[in-house]
C-alpha cells in the first residue's frame, strides 16, 4: 500500500509539472504575438485605488489616463512623464530609472518567463517573479486565456504598486501620436 501511495504521488507531480509547462508554453506563445495592448486598469498604491485606461505598444511605450485625478502617464520608450492636469504638476523621469523599463520590455519579459518556472496562484494565475537590478517585479498571467492580467512592483517612491488589467484588447490599430510626451505647455 505504501508503494502505491508513493507511485500515485509521483504520477500526480509529473502531471502537475506537465500542466504548468503547457500553461507556460501557451503564455509564451500568446505574449510573443502581442504588438500592443489596450486595457482598463485598477491600481492600488498604499491602499489608494486608482482606475483608468491604457495603451501599451511594445517596446516600452505606454499611454494611460487616470479617471479620478485627471492624471496622464506617458512613455515614448526613453522617458516617462506623469502629468496631473488638475494641479498642473508635471514630472519627467528617465525610463530606465523606473520599473516600466522592464515591464514594457516584451523581449526582456519573455526571456525571464522562459527561464522561470512561475508560481500557480489561486489555481487561476501563473506568476513570474524576478529581481533585476533594483527592481523586483511580479507579472501575472491568466492560466485559461494566457493573457497578461497585471503586475506588482515597487515604484520610484518605494511604494508597493499592484496593477490589475481587464477588458484587454490585443493588436489593435492605434495612433502613434498617443505616445508623444506631454509637456507643461501642451495639455
DSSP string for residues in the chain: -HHHHHHHHHHHHHHHHHHHHHHHHHHHHHHHT-SEEEEEEEEEETTEEEEEEEEEETTTEEEEEESTT-EEEEEESSEEEEEETTTTEEEEEEGGGSTHHHHT-HHHHHHHHHT---EEETTTEEEEEEEETTEEEEEEEETTT--EEEEEEE-TTS-EEEEEEEEEEES----GGGGSPPBTTB-
pLDDT at 28: 95
Contact of 43 with 57, CB cutoff 8 Å: no
Measured CA to CA, the distance from residue 70 to residue 72 in angstroms comes to 7
pLDDT at 20: 64
**Cell representation of residue 144:** 485559461
Cα separation of the two ends of the chain: 73
pLDDT in tens, the chain (187 residues): 554 444 444 444 433 444 567 889 999 999 999 999 999 999 999 889 999 999 999 999 999 999 977 899 999 999 999 998 888 888 999 999 999 999 999 999 999 999 998 999 999 999 999 999 889 999 999 999 999 999 999 887 888 999 999 999 999 999 989 999 987 665 5
pTM of the model: 0.85
pLDDT at 2: 56
Q: What is the CATH number of domain 2-179?
A: 2.50.20.10
Domain ranges of the chain: 2-179
pLDDT at 186: 52
Write out pLDDT tens, residues 113-136: 999 989 999 999 999 999 998 899
Length of the chain: 187
pLDDT at 99: 95
Amino acid at each position: 500500500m505504501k508503494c502505491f501511495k508513493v507511485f500515485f504521488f509521483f504520477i500526480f507531480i509529473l502531471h502537475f509539472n506537465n500542466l504548468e509547462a503547457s500553461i507556460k508554453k501557451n503564455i509564451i506563445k500568446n505574449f510573443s504575438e502581442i504588438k500592443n495592448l489596450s486595457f482598463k486598469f485598477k491600481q492600488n498604491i498604499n491602499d489608494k485605488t486608482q482606475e483608468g485606461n491604457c495603451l501599451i505598444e511594445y517596446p516600452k511605450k505606454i499611454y494611460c489616463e487616470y479617471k479620478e485625478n485627471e492624471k496622464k502617464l506617458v512613455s515614448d520608450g526613453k522617458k516617462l512623464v506623469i502629468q496631473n492636469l488638475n494641479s498642473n504638476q508635471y514630472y519627467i523621469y528617465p525610463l530606465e530609472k523606473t520599473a516600466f523599463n522592464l515591464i514594457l520590455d516584451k523581449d526582456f519579459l519573455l526571456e525571464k518567463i522562459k527561464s522561470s518556472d512561475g508560481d500557480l496562484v489561486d489555481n487561476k494565475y501563473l506568476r513570474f517573479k524576478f529581481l533585476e537590478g533594483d527592481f523586483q517585479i511580479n507579472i501575472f498571467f491568466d492560466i485559461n486565456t494566457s493573457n497578461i492580467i497585471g503586475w506588482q512592483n515597487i515604484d520610484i517612491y518605494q511604494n508597493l504598486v499592484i496593477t490589475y488589467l481587464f477588458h484587454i484588447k490585443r493588436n489593435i490599430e492605434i495612433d502613434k501620436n498617443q505616445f508623444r510626451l506631454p509637456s507643461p505647455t501642451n495639455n
